[in-house]
């Protein structure tokens, strides 16, 4: 089991028997993600020195202005994942449609689809604040030997076989799960190796941090407003502390370590919420549950939602179990 100061490579080999499918394939898949993460990390680290800051000039399918680093990270992850013979399809926040990978032998016999948010927290790039990458992995459900279809990507989050994120922060970390808890690895940039720094990460059952963009308060549903008021009341361990970075990865990472709740509600402006079910909410929900936390759309478990479209958005409430349950209680009784 988890052993501090192990390298990520050693950890993958030591724990591969716990993975219910072919362990070598998953190892290669995680390996390609850690490699792409190193390349992106290198670029993020020198972002102020090279011409990689600012807008790329295009708008993505989400209606957002793409940043140069959004495009760069998207390209690096797609190229790295395509070059290994493991992935049969990729869906990305930055791509209109999913990408089909037939494999070098043209047999369509790769087994995994990867869904990703290549660069999370785009609005923080230009101001030297932490950004991240989020990934979600499923086995394909259509038969091998045929090209992947939309169905392979629209699986509920409870079918994920692995998920994780990279946080390009004060140090760079990869945090992931294959269904046996959550482990975090920190990159030693001098030697380019990730070490197990955070074995068996656990969401504290309770916390005192709430993370939400309160600038949208007037547009929130009544139940969310009531819960925020509850967080701010003076009673017991309240008022809670408000912390919001604006990069889901970083906000989640802090809350998992310290205890807290992250909320991105539906608003009167965005009736379905802002965050993407497939690239952001499902992988984070999987990690949250693996770490003993919860993730909800306000009424039901995120991982049980059956997606109907690739870029689907959902309201998102995620974090320490007792806090998410309390928020749900306010929403039910509003
Ligand atoms: P992305 O940069 O991948 O488009 O994601 C942005 C998301 C998420 O990272 C963050 O928590 C949230 O949007 C911030 O939104 P607001 O600026 O509306 O608070
Ligand atoms: Mn975006
Ligand atoms: Mn994002
Ligand atoms: Mn993004």
Q: Are residues 189 and 241 in the same domain?
A: no
Note the pLDDT of residue 1: 52
Q: Which residue positions in the chain have pLDDT lower than 50?
A: none
Distance CA 68, CA 47 (A): 10
Q: Is the CB of 248 under 6 A from ligand 1?
A: yes
Beta strands at 65-67 and 55-59: parallel, antiparallel or unpaired: antiparallel
How crowded is residue 2: how many other Cβ atoms within 10 Å of its Cβ?
A: 15
For 96, residues 6+ apart whose C-beta sits below 8 A from its C-beta are: 61
Q: Quote the DSSP letter at residue 255.
A: H
Give me the number of domains the chain comprises: 2
Q: Are residues 192 and 62 in the same domain?
A: yes
Q: Are residues 25 and 143 in the same domain?
A: yes
Q: Are 62 and 276 in contact (CB under 8 A)?
A: yes
Q: Are residues 190 and 76 in the same domain?
A: yes
Distance of CA 217 to the CA centre of its chain: 25
- Six-digit token string for 118: 């290549």
Instruction: Consult the annotation and say whether 32 binds a ligand.
Output: no
Q: Are residues 20 and 95 in the same domain?
A: yes
Whole-number Å distance, alpha carbon 115 to ligand 3 midpoint, is: 12
Instruction: For residue 264, tell me if it sits in a domain.
Output: yes
Whole-number Å distance, alpha carbon 246 to ligand 3 midpoint, is: 9
pTM of the model: 0.97
Note the pLDDT of residue 135: 98
Minimal-distance CA residue to ligand 1 atom 11:
248
Note the pLDDT of residue 24: 81
Distance CA 277, CA 127 (A): 27
Sign of the CA dihedral with 95 first, then 98, 100, and 101 last: positive
Q: Are residues 235 and 147 in the same domain?
A: no
- SS3 percent helix, strand, coil of the chain, rounded to 5, is 35, 25, 40
Note the pLDDT of residue 129: 94
Q: Are 238 and 290 in contact (CB under 8 A)?
A: no
Q: Are residues 32 and 80 in the same domain?
A: yes
- For residue 269, the domain's CATH number is 3.40.190.80
Q: Are residues 19 and 80 in the same domain?
A: yes
- For residue 27, the domain's CATH number is 3.30.540.10
User: pLDDT (tens digit, 9 = 90+) per residue, 7-54?
Assistant: 999 998 888 776 666 668 888 899 999 999 999 999 998 877 777 788
Domain boundary among 200, 221, 239: 200
Q: Are residues 213 and 194 in the same domain?
A: no
Distance CA 97, CA 107 (A): 22
Q: Are residues 37 and 173 in the same domain?
A: yes
Q: Are residues 103 and 170 in the same domain?
A: yes
Distance CA 46, CA 178 (A): 32
Q: Are residues 27 and 167 in the same domain?
A: yes
How crowded is residue 44: how many other Cβ atoms within 10 Å of its Cβ?
A: 24
Instruction: Consult the annotation and say whether 278 binds a ligand.
Output: no
Q: Is the CB of 292 under 6 A from ligand 1?
A: no
Could you tell me the residue range of the domain that residue 171 belongs to? 8-200
ipTM of this predicted structure: 0.98
Q: Quote the DSSP letter at residue 302.
A: G
Instruction: Consult the annotation and say whether 280 binds a ligand.
Output: yes
Q: Are 139 and 179 in contact (CB under 8 A)?
A: no
Instruction: For residue 270, tell me if it sits in a domain.
Output: yes
Distance CA 49, CA 197 (A): 29
């Amino acid at each position: 089991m988890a052993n501090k100061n192990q390298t990520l490579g050693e950890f993958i080999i030591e724990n591969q028997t716990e993975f219910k499918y072919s362990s070598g394939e998953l190892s290669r898949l995680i390996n390609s993600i850690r490699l792409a993460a190193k390349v992106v990390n290198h670029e993020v680290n020198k972002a102020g020195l090279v011409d990689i800051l600012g807008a790329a000039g295009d708008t993505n399918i989400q209606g957002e202005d793409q940043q140069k680093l959004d495009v760069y990270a998207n390209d690096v992850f797609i190229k790295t994942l395509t070059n290994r013979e493991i992935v049969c399809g990729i869906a990305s926040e930055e791509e209109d449609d999913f990408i089909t990978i037939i494999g070098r032998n043209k047999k369509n016999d790769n087994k995994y689809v990867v869904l990703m948010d290549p660069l999370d927290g785009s609005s923080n790039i230009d101001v030297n604040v932490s950004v991240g990458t989020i990934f979600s992995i499923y086995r394909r459900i259509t038969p091998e030997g045929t090209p992947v279809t939309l169905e392979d990507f629209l699986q509920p989050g409870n079918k994920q076989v692995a998920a994780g994120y990279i946080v390009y922060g004060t140090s760079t970390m990869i945090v992931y799960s294959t269904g046996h808890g959550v482990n975090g690895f920190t990159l030693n940039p001098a030697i380019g190796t990730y070490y197990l720094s955070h074995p068996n990460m656990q969401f504290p059952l309770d916390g005192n941090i709430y993370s939400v963009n309160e600038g949208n308060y007037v547009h929130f549903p009544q139940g969310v407003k009531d819960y925020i008021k509850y967080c701010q009341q003076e009673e017991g361990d309240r008022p809670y502390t408000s912390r919001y970075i604006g990069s889901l990865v970083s906000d989640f990472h802090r809350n998992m370590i310290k205890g807290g709740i992250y909320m991105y509600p539906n608003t009167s402006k965005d009736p379905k919420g802002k965050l993407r079910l497939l690239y952001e909410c499902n992988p984070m929900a999987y990690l949250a549950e693996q770490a003993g936390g919860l993730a909800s759309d306000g009424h039901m478990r995120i991982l049980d939602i059956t997606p109907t479209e690739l870029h689907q958005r959902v309201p998102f409430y995620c974090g320490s179990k007792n806090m998410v349950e309390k928020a749900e209680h306010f929403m039910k009784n509003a």
